[in-house]
Amino acid sequence: MSRSLRPRAYDNLPPERYQGRASFGEPPLKVNRKRMADKTLTMIDGVLTTMGLSDNPKSTFFSKQFGPLERDACPGYILPRIKVRYGDTFSLTRQLAKSRPEYAREGKLAVLNCASDMVIAGGWRHRYGTTQEDALCYSSTLWPTLERWTHKYPWRNAVPIYHRVSRGGTQCAGIFSPHVVIFRDDLMKDCQILPRKEWTAVSVVSVAALACPPQVKDSKTGELRLKLDKDVHTILERFRMILRMAARHGKSVLVLAALGCGVWRCPPRQMAELLKECLAEPEFEGWFEEILVGIYDDEVCRVWREVLEAKGVS
């Protein structure tokens, strides 16, 4: 079979790609989501200008893994217990910024975008989907910071040859968007435009999981686990990239999400365990003062909470 005819993981995705349907009810109809997207796009320039930001927002594309963080630069924070919460990532970010306004004022906040590395924003501009990445695009000025890197998709083609999985590399890539303004509510609230005083500027770290990686059942628990050791290694490296990207840009307060646990069907418990493993590495000690994980799915949220909020997890 020729390469062009081989099925891709992306072709097997369900038509409605929304983790929280069963929990939060049905998302708005596609025709309404298109209107929401169009409205967001017409407002972005004005929102950025109103916030004193450039209407040509900057972002940086990274095509390979960062080196380890330097201990001499570590701010020495004592990380409190990680919190796993049920809800939309940006809604939880706004709540956090409201309760701790200094986080936004001092530019400490970074939010994880569970990105597609195959097509820009997972095809949001023409599919009007309902993934976590789609939700961020409806509610904020994120889109132009991704669109400027259209020529880098799929990211695997932008990764230097010696860093690709086929050459034994980690194949890590990502985008850092320093100034993204949240100015609309979440999808389940029809993306209502927020009052000006509630607009919140954050940074966004865009990194992808693996798309529908092969899995096997654990003989003891019956839960699915990643089948290939190289996939486990890749996920660990991508979690490290998220943490390093945030830390290198001075972001000490993170709002993460269940990377890969929605449309890309990575095993939730193992993904949470791999994040926990990374956070426990000496390299990341002292870099973060608060970490919140927002998850729009009851079952995934329960599993991640079991792993990350268990006694002894800090």
pLDDT tens, position by position, 255-309? 999 999 998 999 999 999 999 999 999 999 999 999 999 998 999 999 999 999 9
pLDDT score of 159: 85
pLDDT tens, position by position, 114-124? 999 999 999 99
Spell out, as residue ranges, where the chain has pLDDT lower than 50. Answer: 1-23, 166-167, 312, 314
- In angstroms, the first-to-last Cα distance of the chain is 49
For residue 229, give Cα distances in angstroms to 168, 213, 232, 240, 279.
12, 11, 5, 17, 20
Task: Write down the pTM of the prediction.
Answer: 0.91
CB-based contacts of 308, cutoff 8 Å, min separation 6: 82, 84, 272, 275, 276, 293
pLDDT score of 162: 54
pLDDT score of 268: 97
pLDDT score of 21: 39
For tokens 């020495």, what's the residue? 76
pLDDT score of 24: 53
Rounded to whole angstroms, the Cα distance separating 196 from 158 reads: 38
Exposure b/e, 220-246, CB count within 10 A at least 16 = b: eeeebbbeeeebbebbbbbbbbbbbbb
pLDDT score of 167: 45
Per CATH, which fold does 18-308 belong to?
A: Leucine Aminopeptidase, subunit E; domain 1 (3.40.220)
Rounded to whole angstroms, the Cα distance separating 133 from 242 reads: 15
The region, left, alpha or beta by phi > 0 then psi within -120 to 50, assigned to residue 191 is left
pLDDT score of 80: 83
143 HSE (CA, 13 A, CB side): 22
**Token pair recorded at residue 173:** 């890539």
